[in-house]
Structure 1
Amino acid sequence: MSDNELELKKLYWQCRRGMLELDVLLSPFVQEVYPSLSLEDQASFKKLLTCEDQDLFGWFMQREEPGDADLKRIVKIILDRVQPS
């Protein structure tokens, strides 16, 4: 198994948060989109996974916005993927 495959498996497990609303956003994103992100956006996604579930939930439900610009960008990328134009 390559390093990239190991990284994706690790990220996939980190995406399993125990909150269905987060799981349905994060798990498919890491499998389908993460590999094509820039290195900066990949780093932002990894940073996002260190955040508390309640913060993530608020951001993805668009009740709040992250104060950090990198997190704000990756949240937007994830939401743009699932929201109609």
Structure 2
Amino acid sequence: FVEKDGRLADPVIKGLLKYWPVTNCQKEVLFLGELEEVLESTQPPEFVRCMVSLFRQIGRCLNSPHFQGLGKCYFI
């Protein structure tokens, strides 16, 4: 959706952050993969709208004890 209409990046990213898995590392890795794909298509004005909450969640992932989520987080 974001590739066709860049204005959808903000609601899509906020939706991903809203339903972010807390206890399941495998789901967290999947969410990070989806987030990476969305960010590739996101334009700077759309990114600015959600960057505070996005970086807050990435910071939580960097503090995670799970190496898979941590490794995927570094790629973003």
Q: Same fold (TM over 0.5)?
A: no
Q: Which has the higher contact order (CA 8 A, sep 6+)?
A: 2
Per the normalisation by structure 2, the TM-score is 0.31
